[in-house]
């Protein structure tokens, strides 16, 4: 399958209007390349991985639109047959019209051809089976090797939700969970993503889990990952919403009913989360946190203590930190 790529050089302030304008032409699904820093909300929604500081925003943006090329070399846009030349002419005309009332920067268009774009599955080439101690983590498109048949196996397909288990913060949480889970454990996983921590907790023997997330994509990812791992849907409840600020979510999650709360989130989110989540924990309940870069360790420890929790253990992997505490 071949695709024609129309790549526009513009400025970041013009991204939205150009995307909207070209959408009306039938060009959808823009790929955006810029150096705009993530917003606070975007950082919260990413939960696990803290991206390194990127280059300084220079105001330049590249927008790429892809149109499938048919066997006869023609294109189809908005259900109508057309040509590369015609689409290019339309794009250039729209850009020139926009230039009359706003700054679109250079506004140049480069046309290129590429093959075999699979928007949903291309990421799979980067995710292969691996081990977390004695646990084999394997995606659905790979097979279990004969020598691994005696291992605990976690089948995980993250899809569009975060969480494969590869990141150090996830592994830190997994090791702490194994220490405290019992057959009676009621667990709350804040920022559950793909559901990996809650699903493993149930595989370790926990009784029931609740996961919360801001991203609606987590619902489908959790359902699929529960299914492939043989988790009874009744054992895992999902809720979408911000437990830090939304009283309705807090009420729905429930108060003083969890033996373990795990939160693999950014340190800057753990600070406001901790004084809220302490009310969800039972007395004697365990609070496991990670997603903490090493220079934020003290910030999180202080937030945990300020919420009245007792710090039990601080563990490390690479430059990442996990803080485990108890509600006395």
Instruction: For 57-97, write each residue's pLDDT tens digit.
Output: 788 999 999 888 888 888 988 888 999 999 999 999 999 99
Q: Is the separation of the CB atoms in 265 and 191 below 8 Å?
A: yes
Structure tokens at 282: 């039972």
Verify that 322 and 173 share a domain, yes or no. Answer: yes
Side-chain-facing half-sphere of 296: CA atoms under 13 Å: 21
**Residue 150 covered by a domain:** no
Residue 160 lies in a domain: no
Whether residues 89 and 188 share a domain: the answer is no
Confirm whether 200 is domain-assigned.
yes
Annotated binding-site residues for S-adenosyl-L-methionine read 170, 191, 213, 264
pLDDT of residue 8: 96
Separation CA 260–CA 126 (nearest Å): 32
Residue 158's pLDDT is 57
Rounded-to-integer distance, Cα 17 and Cα 102, Å: 10
- Residue in the block written with tokens 């774009």: 117
**Residue 178 shares a structural domain with residue 247:** yes
Binding-site entries? 170, 191, 213, 264
Tokens of 166: 């590869």
Q: How far apart are CA 224 and CA 185, in angstroms?
A: 23
- Neighbouring CB atoms inside 10 A of 74's CB total 13
Same domain, 229 and 86: no
Output the pLDDT for position 190.
96
Same domain, 192 and 85: no
Q: What is the pTM of this model?
A: 0.67
What does R_g of the chain's alpha carbons equal in angstroms?
24
Is the same domain home to 37 and 98? yes
Single out the residue in 81, 115, 149 at which a domain terminates: 115
Q: Does residue 157 belong to any structural domain of this protein? A: no
Residue 203, number of CB atoms within 10 A of its CB? 16
CATH code of 233's domain: 3.40.50.150
Question: 111-138: buried (b, 16+ CB within 10 Å) or exposed (e) per residue?
Answer: eeeeeeeeeeeeeeeebebeebeebbbb
Say if 187 falls within a structural domain. yes
How far is residue 318's CA from residue 214's CA, in Å, rounded to a whole number?
28
Choose one of 115, 141, 158: the last residue of a domain: 115
For the chain, which residues score pLDDT lower than 70?
1, 37-55, 115-126, 158-163
**Spatial separation of the C-alpha atoms in residues 190 and 55, rounded to whole Å:** 31
**Token couple for 274:** 């901790």
Whether residue 89 sits in one domain with residue 14: yes
Verify that 38 and 105 share a domain, yes or no: yes
Shared domain check, 185 and 60: no
Q: How far apart are alpha carbons 223 and 231 in whole angstroms?
A: 9
Range of the domain at 188: 168-327
Question: In the 3-class helix/strand/coil scheme, how is the chain assigned residue by residue?
Answer: CEEEEEEEEEEHHHHHHHHHHHHHHCCCCCEEEECCCCCHHHHHHHCCCCCCCCCCCCCEEEEEEEEEECCCCCEEECCEEECHHHHHHHHHHHHHHHHCCCCCCCCEEEEEEEECCCCCCHHHHHCCCEEECCEEEECCCCCCCHHHCCCEEEECCCCCCCCCCCCHHHHHHHHHHHHHCCCCCEEEEECCCCCHHHHHHHHCCCCEEEEEECCCHHHHHHHHHHHHCCCCHHHEEEEECCCCCCHHHHHHHCCCCEEEEEEECCHHHHHHHHHHHCCCEEEEEEEEEEEEEHHHHHHHHHHHHHCCEEEEEEEEECCEEEEEEEEC
Indicate if 106 and 17 belong to the same structural domain. yes
The CA distance from 49 to 9, in Å, is 29
Q: Out of 115, 147, 176, pick the residue that ends a domain.
A: 115
Note whether residue 128 is domain-resident. Answer: no
CATH value at residue 43: 3.30.70.120
- What is the number of structural domains in the chain? 2
Nearest 10 degrees: CA dihedral of 100, 94, 61, 9? -100
Question: Do residues 19 and 99 share a domain?
Answer: yes
Distance, CA of 129 to chain centre: 19
96 in the same domain as 188: no
User: Tens digit of pLDDT for each residue in 212-246?
Assistant: 998 887 888 899 899 999 999 999 999 999 999 99
Cα–Cα–Cα angle for 307, 264, 31, rounded to 5 degrees = 130
- Asked if residue 147 is part of any domain, the answer here is no
Q: What is the pLDDT of residue 201?
A: 97
Tokens 């400025």 belong to which residue? 11
Is 140 inside a domain boundary? no
| pLDDT score of 254 | 96
């Amino acid at each position: 399958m071949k695709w024609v790529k129309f790549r526009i050089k513009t400025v970041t302030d013009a991204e939205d209007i150009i995307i909207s304008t070209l959408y009306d032409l039938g060009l959808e699904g823009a790929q955006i390349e810029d150096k705009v820093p993530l917003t606070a909300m975007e950082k919260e929604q990413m939960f696990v991985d803290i991206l390194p500081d990127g280059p300084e925003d220079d105001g330049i943006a590249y927008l790429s639109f892809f149109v499938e090329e048919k066997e006869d070399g023609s294109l189809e846009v908005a259900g109508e047959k057309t040509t590369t030349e015609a689409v290019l002419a339309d794009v250039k005309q729209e850009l020139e019209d926009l230039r009359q009332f706003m700054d679109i920067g250079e506004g140049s268009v480069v046309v290129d051809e590429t093959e075999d774009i699979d928007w949903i599955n291309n990421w799979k080439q980067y995710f292969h089976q691996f081990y977390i101690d004695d646990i084999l983590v394997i995606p659905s498109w790979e097979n279990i090797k004969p020598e691994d048949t005696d291992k605990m196996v976690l089948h995980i397909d993250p899809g569009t939700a975060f969480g494969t288990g590869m990141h150090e913060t996830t592994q830190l949480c997994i090791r702490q969970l194994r220490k405290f889970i019992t057959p009676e454990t009621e667990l709350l996983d804040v920022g559950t993503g793909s559901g990996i921590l809650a699903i493993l907790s149930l595989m370790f023997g926990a009784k029931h889990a609740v996961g919360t997330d801001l991203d609606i994509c987590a619902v489908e990812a959790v359902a699929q990952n529960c299914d492939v791992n043989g988790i009874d849907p009744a054992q895992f409840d999902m809720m979408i919403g911000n437990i830090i600020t939304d009283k309705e979510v807090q009420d729905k999650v429930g108060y003083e009913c969890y033996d373990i709360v795990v939160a693999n989130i950014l340190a800057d989110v753990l600070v406001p989360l901790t004084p809220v989540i302490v009310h969800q924990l039972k007395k004697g309940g365990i609070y496991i946190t990670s997603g903490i870069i090493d220079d934020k360790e003290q910030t999180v420890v202080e937030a945990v203590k300020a919420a009245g929790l007792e710090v039990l253990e601080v563990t490390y992997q690479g430059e990442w930190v996990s803080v485990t505490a108890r509600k006395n």
